[in-house]
Amino acid sequence: MTADTSLPPRINAVPLRHPWRWVSAVIIIALVGLFLYGAATNPTYYWATYSRYVFDRRVSLAAWNTIQLTVLSMLIAVVLGVGLAVMRLSPNPVLRSVSWVYIWIFRGTPVYVQLVFWGLFPVIYRNIQLGIPFGPSFFHFSLQNLSLFFILAVIGLGLNEAAYMAEIIRAGISSVPEGQTEASTALGMSWWMTMRRTILPQAMRVIIPPTGNEIISMLKTTSLVIAVPYSGELYGRAHDIGVAFFQPIPLLMVAATWYLAITSVLMVGQYYLERYFSRGASRKLTSKQLEVLALAQRAVEEHQ
């Protein structure tokens, strides 16, 4: 037998067929079509009302309020959550205990109850005053005169969510191998610098996906702020409009449409964030790096 030294031809195999995937897809499309037909022809959905209100100015303003509630409360939650998680893992027992008690209380009571409490806050504490106790006062304002319910809703949602974010961030921090801390320590970094420069950036890869979930979940939890009571957000406003002329269903559909649209935008943002923080996590080369390597390989081959 003579050895054939030429390279064999590229494999060009017949791809595997999947007939059952097609069958199941057809069945599902048929079922969805039936449901959509039923919904379109059912008069109780009041599609005319739906299309009249879906881009109503009051509704879009309410959606904007919902976004503000979500973003502001998540900002509080992330900043406070990082602080709580770092405290929870710190070598200082005072910080550790404070963080533990905070999470115990805010995770251990329902968010609805907490929101009601924040709504009653101006009743419990009538004034906020900044100064030396029994001495002069530098700053004073009455909580009675202001319509603070939006701010109280943000605080209520943010402080509650911080407890959950703290646990997510703690899990992320714990997922970073111990060798990373040792290498940083050996280079003379302080504990806090090690956290900030080495541990947290690596923990982000683990923290981002559940945080995306939390933001989407928060978007919908904002519908509970009626407990404060604040009803300027999407669900509260849609409900108020719909109830006024006894057609709640089309207005619910309006609110659902907006929630779904905002969630979809958030999902796109999450995709890009995840991609950014997973850099260096895989040995898979980027398309740019592969291109450079292929070029180099071709240059070597041509040279031979």
Partner 1 sequence: MTAMVVADRVCKDFGALKVLKGVTLTVEPGQVMCIVGPSGSGKSTFLRCINHLENISAGRLYVDGDLVGYRESRGKLHELPARESAKQRRGVGMVFQHFNLFPHRTALANIVEAPIHVKKVAKAAALQRGRDLLQRVGMSEKADAYPAQLSGGQQQRVAIARALAMDPKLMLFDEPTSALDPELVGEVLNVMRDLARAGMTMVVVTHEMGFAREVADQLVFMDDGVIVESGKPRDVLSNPQHQRTQAFLSKLL
Binding footprint of partner 1 on the chain (CB under 8 A) = 177, 179-180, 182-183, 185-191, 193, 197-198, 201-202, 279-283, 285, 289
Tokens of 169: 């961030």
CB of 280 to partner 1, least distance (A): 4
CB of 169 to partner 1, least distance (A): 16
Bin 149: left if φ > 0, else alpha if -120 < ψ < 50, else beta: alpha
Q: What are phi and psi of 130, to 5 degrees?
A: -115, 125
CB of 201 to partner 1, least distance (A): 5
Q: DSSP per residue over 144-194, as a string?
A: TTS--HHHHHHHHHHHHHHHHHHHHHHHHHHTS-HHHHHHHHHTT--HHHI
CB of 295 to partner 1, least distance (A): 15
Of 48 and 182, the one with the shorter C-beta distance to partner 1 is: 182
Q: How many angstroms separate the first and last alpha carbons of the chain?
A: 29
Of 58 and 279, the one with the shorter C-beta distance to partner 1 is: 279
Of 57 and 288, the one with the shorter C-beta distance to partner 1 is: 288
CB of 35 to partner 1, least distance (A): 46
Helices (H) and strands (E) in the chain, counts: 12, 2
Q: DSSP per residue over 257-290, as a string?
A: HHHHHHHHHHHHHHHHHHHHHTTTS-SPPPHHHH
CB of 184 to partner 1, least distance (A): 8
Q: How far apart are CA 116 and CA 118, in angstroms?
A: 5
Of 52 and 279, the one with the shorter C-beta distance to partner 1 is: 279
CB of 18 to partner 1, least distance (A): 34
Of 17 and 284, the one with the shorter C-beta distance to partner 1 is: 284
Using CB atoms within 10 A of its CB, is residue 186 exposed (0-12), middle (13-18) or buried (19+)? exposed
Of 129 and 182, the one with the shorter C-beta distance to partner 1 is: 182
Of 109 and 190, the one with the shorter C-beta distance to partner 1 is: 190
Tokens of 160: 């509650």
For residue 131, the 8-state DSSP code is E
CB of 204 to partner 1, least distance (A): 9
Q: How far apart are CA 248 and CA 253, in angstroms?
A: 9
Tokens of 135: 């001495």
CB of 139 to partner 1, least distance (A): 36
Whether 119 and 228 have beta carbons less than 8 Å apart is answered as: yes
Whether 141 and 131 have beta carbons less than 8 Å apart is answered as: no
